[in-house]
A = this chain, B = another copy of it.
Amino acid sequence: MKEYQKTTMNPQAEELNQIIRQKSPALYEMLSERGKNIFFPKKGILGQTAEAKGTRINATIGAAIEDDGTPMRLETIASKINLDPSLVFPYAPSFGRPDLRARWKEMIYEKSPSLGKTEISLPVVTNALTHGISMAGYLFADAGDEVIVPDLFWGNYTLTLTNGCGANMVKFNLFKNGKFDLEAFEAKLNEGSPGKRILVLNFPNNPTGYTPSQKEINGIIEVMGEAAENGNKIVCIIDDAYFGLIYEEGIAQESIFAPLANLHENVLALKLDGSTKEDYVWGFRVGFMTFAIKGGDAELYSALESKTAGAIRGNISNAANISQSLMFAAYSSPEYAAQKKMKFEIMKKRFEAVKEALKEEKY
């Protein structure tokens, strides 16, 4: 990519930047040029539609309606979906469905007891995990920036961050003597003068399946806290694609998002997760981006959410409403927990069978 043209910044972007600079100067420094310039247009049709929802007369456009006020639709399509058409046919907001965002936020707290009352953003809905990586790159990685990854990492980071954003992947050694190589991690994080760092952590790790023990997590957090204290501004992209797919004792059950969320004013924790693998809906494309930084409050997070939704608006407009509504219905269903547990047990049994088989001499 050639040099990003310095044009006049849109006042709506400047408004968000002022909030971010005031609340968290470190976070402002972490933003890419694209991240600084992006905003969610309040004045456009979608902005007007968002404002008109809840008013008595909604004369904004977007999607046509039947004479009875329900969304216009073809019966041959509607007959295949057992959900209210209003949950399926109209656009979802670029931010994602508010009901799903609120529920997923509750679920993050439920899955991360050690978060306690730490304030985090509302999740912004993405077209699943890859899209989260891509939008994280948009907001934080300029062409030529380095992104720190373990030497064993998901190949699609290259297409997303290098091909897509022009960033360079720099690697640290992941394993030493069968453990997390904390020294290699520390050395890479502190290489060169203190400054902006973009880091991707992915546990369980694709492709190895590795998840750190609680002790290893503590070591990582300590190293990151020291690096932040030394003046590094760290964007930590947490790829939680495989969250919950853990079938062994003694390894960390919570996402590393929890201890990072409140670690340091110089550490932005950006959790990327989603329904995809946690709920066996690979083809639905429902993911989330959730931000946390020490001292972050609703106003700061709202500015970040607006920038994220703006980046999404200028990339895919919004993610599938039908998929979001199906997931919200599932998360609200009294049957959900038991059904999920049943699938977990099946997967765990398979894991144990493979583990037994691998003990045989021939492997």
Query: Which of A's residues lie within 8 Å of B, judged by CB?
Result: 1-5, 7, 33-34, 37-38, 41, 44, 62-64, 66-67, 71-77, 79-83, 88-92, 127-131, 134, 138, 142-144, 155-156, 158-160, 162-164, 166, 168, 279-285, 310-311, 313-323, 326-327, 329-330, 333, 335-336, 339-340, 343, 346-347
Contacts and interface: CB of A to CB of B under 8 A. Distances in A.
| Copies of this chain assembled into the complex | 2
B280 A343 contact: no
A1 B143 contact: yes
A82 B285 CA distance: 19
Given A314-B164, A316-B134, A80 B77 contact: no
Given A130-B315, A320-B322, A323-B322, A2 B5 contact: no
Nearest to A67: B346
6 contacts: A72-B346, A80-B83, A89-B281, A127-B316, A130-B315, A315-B315
A315 B168 CA distance: 17
A311 B319 CA distance: 18
B143 A4 contact: yes
A64 B347 contact: yes
Nearest to A310: B159
A3 B316 CA distance: 25
Contacts of A74: 279-280, 330, 336, 339-340, 343
A315 B166 contact: no
A4 B81 contact: no
Nearest to A285: B320
A349 to B, nearest CB: 10
Nearest to A89: B283
Given A1-B166, A4-B166, 11 more contacts: A3-B143, A38-B163, A64-B347, A76-B339, A77-B279, A80-B326, A127-B285, A127-B316, A129-B317, A282-B321, A319-B320
A2 B90 contact: no
Contact of A1 (B2, B7, B72, B281): B2
Query: What 5 pairs between A and B have smallest CB-CB spacing?
Result: A283-B321, A159-B314, A130-B317, A1-B1, A1-B4
B5 A282 contact: no
A249 B129 CA distance: 47
A91 B128 CA distance: 11
Given A127-B316, A166-B4, A280 B76 contact: no
